[in-house]
């Protein structure tokens, strides 16, 4: 009886299989990325057989069992898609440290976390590097004075640079830059401190032509609007954020307004929505056209084309591509006389993104954009259905736009908060206020003026709308600075275990798709996620992959072994701890004792000694006599003393960063390499 009742309930969902498909397809993609080792050919053959078997079951036993078979088959398809994508994008990765001449063509210009200009180069040439180890794309930061080069897309340049393969996580289970670089085709990263030289001016080609147009527009916009105002305008129109200062970006992040910079769902929706409404209104004024042709569908086609142009102009990154797929799906629904803003359209967009870019599932942009979109569509759909019932209060017409902004900002903020906190270890307490003061300005003034500038640019009047964009942009930047400066504007949270975000996602999907009585089941994943997150603990001791930085947890927070150097690892450790202190403040804590160059820490009765500086290798034997573990920032040229547990640069190059946990009689060692597993990108 229970089985029949369960199958009956499953069968009732048959009409909404498309809504459930992203959940199971995403579960398969997530399974692939969580595997400790790369699947073998035999496993992919077994997956093929499994998917074929589930398809047969769904065909032969459609009632009840069929939807379950389809769900299981989608999980298998997700695993296979992610594996196929990982092999397809694979490029050679530099397997050693390289210093020497580097030649390449500039395909992207942005800024590093240290605010240095950063160039992405393709068609790379390195001296004395074989073809099997020769990266096709590298990313280089320019430090020092660059007297001979004004970077432009398409230039072929030469420099003397330090390069190495993309680094692994700065701690076991941390952000995996190697995986991100693998899927973006980056085979080496590095820097140069000497001026780069121009070898050849930009060449021709469609892709380079679009990139050059993008850079030219960004330069023109910054010429019309100087300073931070122009940098903001260039960022939202072309995606070029290279001129944005770190202080402004930090203020936007602390006020939860950083999403206004990224060309994603908000920008694409505002742009295409404005064009759709404007074209439809203009066509409706032309009586013969309005009576003969479906002007709503014509406007939808124009909106799709404008979104495609915006996608190409902005650089075509994954976030913008995802946003275009979402809005295009909704406008295509209009072409087929379907409701544009529906869960069906959101589900279709999610499926398309997962098929094209399975790796997007583990990125914050995908998670936050689809969480916000799904929540908004569900909530406004519920409000629309409630408004149809007699006796339900309706807001006055003049108040509805204001109320819509308040509701959308609140709903989107609540939906994305867990993902933002998990990925960025930060909660913005006044983000709702900042968005209420900024998002309407963005939609009502800035984006329409940007469209008007594009229309007037061919006749030389585009500067006028760009000038008019200045005061609204200054308002948004001012709101960001004021809100971010308020006491308690942000709060820090520790990094969650891996299980938390999948549980949150499942809970959100269940809350959206289940009916009223069954919706209470969605509380179970949410409660489980909160319990797992609150019970999580941070590693008592962390050791960087170079051996040059050690962090020891104290009652006041993590104590770092040096005030400067290896700032990325130091900042990441503190952020993952949920600690707002900077590196210098963390260095002043008392978790490590001794003098600089010979620091000691204890954990569970075991003793660690950290040796740095000149002659550190000569002190290894002495340290081994009194320590359970010795960390050396350099590489020991001779064999370590018998019975000595030593982590030097050579050993750490194989293990990656290390986390130490207490156990009876010593340390329990967790390595970043073991946590990452034997995957294509970690080899």
Per-residue pLDDT tens over the stretch 364-374: 888 888 888 88
**C-alpha radius of gyration, the chain, whole number:** 27
Nearest C-alpha neighbor of 53 from the set 41, 67, 70, 31? 70
The 10s digit of each residue's pLDDT in 288-308 is 888 888 899 999 999 999 988
pLDDT of amino acid 477: 94
What is this structure's pTM? 0.86
Q: For 235-253, what is the mean pLDDT?
A: 84
pLDDT band at 138 (very low <50, low <70, confident <90, very high): very high
H or E element at residue 125 = strand 117-126
Q: For 608-620, what is the mean pLDDT?
A: 87
pLDDT of amino acid 657: 94
pLDDT band at 6 (very low <50, low <70, confident <90, very high): low
Residues 6+ apart with CB under 8 A from 37: 677, 678, 679
Range in 132-136, 202-206, 357-361, 547-551 the model is least confident about: 202-206
The 10s digit of each residue's pLDDT in 553-574 is 998 999 999 999 889 999 999 9
The 10s digit of each residue's pLDDT in 483-494 is 999 988 888 899
Nearest C-alpha neighbor of 250 from the set 585, 494, 483, 488? 483
Residues 6+ apart with CB under 8 A from 299: 275, 276, 277, 279, 280, 283
pLDDT of amino acid 393: 55
Answer for the pair 329, 338: CB distance below 8 angstroms, yes or no. Answer: no
pLDDT band at 390 (very low <50, low <70, confident <90, very high): low
The 10s digit of each residue's pLDDT in 142-168 is 988 877 777 888 889 999 999 999 998
Phi/psi for 52 (5° steps) reads -65, -40
pLDDT of amino acid 395: 65
In whole angstroms, what separates CA 186 from the centre of its chain? 16
Residues 6+ apart with CB under 8 A from 159: 101, 102, 140, 192, 194, 195, 196, 197
Residue 317 has pLDDT above 90, yes or no: no
The 10s digit of each residue's pLDDT in 655-666 is 999 999 988 777
pLDDT of amino acid 398: 67
Residue 15 has pLDDT above 80, yes or no: no
Domain 98-203 is found in CATH 2.40.50: yes
Residue 460 has pLDDT above 60, yes or no: yes
Q: Would you list the domain boundaries of the chain?
A: 2-88, 98-203, 247-317+330-338+395-492, 500-534, 541-682
Beta bridge partners of 678: 37
Range in 110-114, 249-253, 281-285 the model is least confident about: 110-114
Q: For 239-267, what is the mean pLDDT?
A: 81
> Which long-range contacts link 304-312 to residues 24+ away (Cβ below 8 Å)?
304/272, 304/328, 304/331, 304/332, 306/271, 306/272, 306/275, 307/268, 307/271, 307/272, 310/263, 310/267, 310/268, 310/271, 310/272, 311/268, 312/210
CA–CA separation, 190 vs 166, rounded Å? 9
Q: For 457-466, what is the mean pLDDT?
A: 88
The 10s digit of each residue's pLDDT in 512-529 is 988 777 788 889 999 999
Residue 1 has pLDDT above 80, yes or no: no
Task: Please name the residue that has the structure tokens 């072309």.
Answer: 238
The overall average pLDDT reported for the chain is: 86
């Amino acid at each position: 009886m229970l089985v029949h009742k369960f199958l009956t309930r499953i069968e009732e969902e048959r009409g909404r299989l498309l809504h459930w498909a992203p959940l199971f397809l995403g579960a398969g993609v997530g399974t692939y990325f969580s595997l400790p080792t790369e699947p073998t050919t035999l496993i992919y053959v077994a997956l093929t057989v499994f998917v074929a078997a589930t398809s047969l079951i769904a065909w032969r036993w459609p009632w009840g069992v069929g939807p379950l078979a389809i769900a299981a088959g989608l999980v298998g398809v997700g695993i296979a898609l992610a594996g196929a994508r990982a092999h397809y994008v694979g490029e050679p990765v530099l397997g050693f440290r390289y210093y020497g001449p580097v030649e390449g063509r500039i395909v992207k210009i942005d800024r590093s976390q240290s605010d240095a200009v950063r160039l992405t180069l393709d068609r790379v040439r390195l001296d004395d590097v074989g073809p099997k180890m020769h990266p096709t794309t590298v990313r280089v930061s320019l430090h020092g004075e660059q007297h001979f080069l004004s970077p432009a897309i398409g230039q072929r340049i030469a420099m003397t640079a330090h390069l190495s393969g993309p680094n692994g996580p700065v701690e076991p289970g941390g952000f995996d830059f190697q995986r991100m670089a693998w899927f973006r085709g980056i085979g080496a990263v590095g820097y140069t401190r000497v001026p780069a030289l121009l070898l050849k001016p930009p060449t021709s080609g469609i892709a380079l032509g679009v990139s050059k147009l993008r850079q030219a527009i960004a330069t023109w916009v910054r010429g019309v609007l100087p300073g931070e105002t122009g940098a903001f305008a260039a960022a939202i129109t072309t995606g070029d954020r290279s001129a944005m200062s770190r202080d402004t970006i930090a203020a936007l992040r602390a006020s939860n307004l950083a999403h206004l910079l990224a060309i994603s769902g908000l920008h694409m929706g505002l742009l295409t929505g404005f064009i759709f409404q404007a074209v439809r209104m203009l066509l409706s004024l032309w009586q013969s056209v309005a009576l003969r042709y479906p002007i709503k569908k014509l406007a939808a086609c124009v909106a799709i084309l404008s979104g495609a142009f915006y996608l190409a102009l902005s650089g075509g990154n994954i976030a913008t591509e995802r946003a275009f797929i979402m809005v295009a799906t909704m406008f295509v629904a209009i072409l087929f006389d379907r409701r544009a803003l529906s869960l069906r359209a959101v589900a279709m967009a999610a499926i398309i993104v997962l098929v094209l870019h399975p790796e997007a599932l583990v990125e914050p942009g995908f998670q936050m954009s689809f969480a916000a979109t799904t929540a908004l569509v569900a909530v406004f759909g519920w409000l629309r259905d409630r408004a149809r019932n007699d006796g339900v209060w309706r807001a006055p017409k003049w108040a509805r736009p204001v109320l819509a902004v308040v509701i959308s900002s609140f709903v989107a903020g609540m939906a994305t908060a867990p993902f933002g906190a998990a990925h960025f270890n930060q909660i913005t307490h006044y983000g709702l206020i900042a968005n209420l003061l900024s998002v309407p300005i963005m939609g009502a003034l800035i984006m329409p003026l940007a469209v008007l500038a594009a229309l007037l640019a061919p006749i030389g009047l585009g500067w006028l709308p760009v000038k008019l964009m200045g005061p609204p942009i200054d308002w948004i930047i001012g709101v960001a600075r004021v809100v971010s400066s308020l006491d308690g504007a942000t709060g820090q949270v520790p990094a969650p275990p891996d299980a938390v975000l999948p549980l949150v996602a499942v809970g959100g999907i269940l809350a959206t798709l289940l009916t009223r009585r069954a919706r209470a089941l969605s509380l179970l994943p949410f409660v489980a996620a909160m319990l797992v997150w609150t019970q999580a603990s941070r590693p008592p001791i962390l050791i960087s992959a170079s051996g040059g930085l050690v962090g020891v947890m104290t009652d006041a927070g993590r104590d770092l072994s040096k005030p400067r150097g290896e700032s990325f690892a130091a900042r990441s450790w503190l952020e993952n701890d949920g600690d707002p202190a900077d590196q210098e403040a963390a260095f002043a804590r008392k978790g490590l004792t001794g003098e600089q160059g010979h620091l000691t820490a204890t954990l569970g009765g075991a003793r660690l000694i950290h040796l740095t500086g000149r002659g550190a290798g000569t002190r290894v034997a002495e340290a081994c006599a009194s320590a359970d573990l010795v960390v050396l920032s350099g590489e020991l040229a001779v064999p370590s003393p018998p019975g000595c547990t030593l982590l030097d640069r050579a050993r750490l190059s194989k293990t990656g960063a290390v986390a130490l946990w207490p156990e009876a009689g010593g340390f329990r060692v967790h390595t970043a390499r073991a946590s990452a597993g034997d995957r294509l990108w970690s080899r």
